[in-house]
Amino acid sequence: MCNLCSANLSRLSRRGLILGSAALAGAAAISPHVAWAEAVAPQNAIGPDEALKRLMEGNARYAANTSANQDYSAGRAARVNAQYPVAAILSCADARVAPELAFDQAPGDLFVVRVAGNFVNEDGLASFEYAVKYLNTPLLMVLGHSNCGAVAATIKVLKDGVTLPGHLQDMIREIKPAVAAAKKAKPADLLSAAIEDNIRRAVHRLETATPILAESVKSQKVKVVGAHYDLATGNIALV
């Protein structure tokens, strides 16, 4: 090959490399995680049952004090551009309940909505619709817990006929149906029974919320489950 041809090919190769790099950079600017998504399926591209299995196995590790997640800085840079939570959790706001720790999941693994008494309000419902519609989260869980102060307060209000100040009455109004239903069964432990009924009511509301959640549940793309966290042991049981 002559020197002129070799030089031309060299220039063309360099020019092609530059143009190719620019095209890739442009694609990344449009969608920062496109290249990653093409190479590796998102971690939440799994079925609801597999997502639930992952959570329950994580809780078993947590309860046994053998949690796998120790380095919370791992993957921090990779999480900047996207999130792929395997589950969305409706948790009580109780400071003793920490879903990421209780399920031994890393940052970015869970999409958590918290409110005292773990009931479904309009804002929480919108958050779950976002998780399902735009984050493709396959599992929704309502996580109640033992000795819930919000449920206990509702029982006391109904028993003593008192009125709580501020917006606390809104919380009581949401939890009141669960307490009333549990009371009819005359359980030995009204608090525990009301906590479980409150979980089931929240599950039902999420399952039947139209149009987004109900359709996803019907198509079996999404599953909604209830669970109870025992503060004393750290164990989580499905309700």
Mention every residue, 6+ apart, whose C-beta is less than 8 A from residue 118.
Answer: 90, 91, 92, 142, 143, 144, 148, 198, 199, 202
Higher-pLDDT residue of 35, 80: 80
Q: Which amino acid is at 62?
A: Y
Spell out the domain ranges in the chain: 1-30, 42-238
Question: Looking at residue 85, what is its pLDDT?
Answer: 98
pLDDT tens digits for 140-181? Answer: 999 999 999 999 999 999 999 999 999 999 999 999 999 999
Does residue 118 contact residue 198 with C-beta atoms inside 8 Å?
yes
Tell me the mean pLDDT in the region 125-131.
98
Tell me the mean pLDDT in the region 109-123.
97
Which pairing describes strands 236-238 and 223-229: parallel, antiparallel, or unpaired?
antiparallel
pLDDT tens digits for 172-226? Answer: 999 999 999 999 999 999 999 999 999 999 999 999 999 999 999 999 999 999 9
Question: Looking at residue 14, what is its pLDDT?
Answer: 45
Q: DSSP string covering 107-171, please?
A: TTSEEEEE-TT----HHHHHHHHHHHHHH---EEEEEEETT-HHHHHHHHHHHHT---STTHHHH
Looking at every residue in the chain, the average pLDDT score rounds to 88
Question: Looking at residue 39, what is its pLDDT?
Answer: 56
Tell me the mean pLDDT in the region 61-82.
91
Question: Looking at residue 13, what is its pLDDT?
Answer: 45
At 200, list the tokens: 């089931």
Quote the CA–CA distance of 31 and 10 in Å, as a whole number: 32
Tell me the mean pLDDT in the region 59-73.
94
Model pTM? 0.82
Question: Looking at residue 19, what is its pLDDT?
Answer: 41
In which residue are the tokens 């003593």 written? 160
Q: Looking at the chain, which runs of residues are DSSP E strands? A: 87-91, 110-114, 139-145, 223-229, 236-238
Does residue 201 contact residue 224 with C-beta atoms inside 8 Å?
no
pLDDT tens digits for 6-39? Answer: 444 444 344 443 344 444 344 444 444 444 344 5
Decide: helix, strand or coil at residue 65. Answer: coil
Which CATH number describes the domain made up of 42-238?
3.40.1050.10
